[in-house]
C-alpha cells in the first residue's frame, strides 16, 4: 500500500480535474446536495485562478522575450568590455530561469 505522500508525488491532478471529480461524485449522490454552494465557489475560484495564471504567463513571456533580446544583443555586441561580459553573465542565467518559469505558468493556464 502506498502512502499519501508517495501517491501525491507521482501525479498531482489539476484543480480543474479535482473539481470535475467532485462534481461527478455530487451528481452520483443526492445526499451531497449541501456542498453545491461550495462547488460553485470552487468553480469560480478555478476560473479566477486560470485567468490570473494566463495573465501572469503573458507578462512573464514579455519579460522573458525582452531579456532574451537583451542577452542576444550583448552576446553579439562588438564591445569586449568587462562590464558587458558582467552584465551578460548576470542576465543569461536569469533569462533561462525566467523562460522555464514562463513555460511552467503556461502549463498551469
Q: Give me the domains of the chain, ranges plus CATH numbers.
A: 37-109 (1.10.287)
List C-alpha distances in Å: 83 to 25, 33, 74: 61, 66, 10
Q: What is the pLDDT along the chain (109 residues), one digit of tens a residue?
A: 444 444 445 778 888 888 899 999 999 999 999 999 999 999 998 888 888 888 888 888 888 888 888 778 777 766 666 677 777 787 888 888 888 888 877 776 6
C-alpha cell read off for 67: 531579456
Could you list the beta-strand ranges (E) of the chain.
none
Judge if pTM exceeds 0.95. no
C-alpha cell read off for 99: 523562460
- Report the pLDDT value the prediction gives residue 34, as an integer from 0 to 100: 92
Amino acid at each position: 500500500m502506498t502512502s499519501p505522500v508517495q501517491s501525491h508525488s507521482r501525479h498531482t491532478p489539476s484543480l480543474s480535474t479535482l473539481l470535475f471529480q467532485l462534481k461527478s461524485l455530487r451528481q452520483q449522490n443526492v445526499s451531497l446536495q449541501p456542498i453545491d454552494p461550495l462547488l460553485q465557489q470552487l468553480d469560480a475560484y478555478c476560473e479566477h485562478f486560470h485567468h490570473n495564471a494566463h495573465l501572469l504567463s503573458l507578462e512573464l513571456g514579455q519579460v522573458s522575450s525582452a531579456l532574451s533580446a537583451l542577452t542576444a544583443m550583448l552576446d553579439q555586441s562588438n564591445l569586449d568590455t568587462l562590464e558587458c561580459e558582467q552584465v551578460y553573465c548576470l542576465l543569461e542565467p536569469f533569462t533561462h530561469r525566467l523562460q522555464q518559469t514562463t513555460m511552467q505558468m503556461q502549463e498551469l493556464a
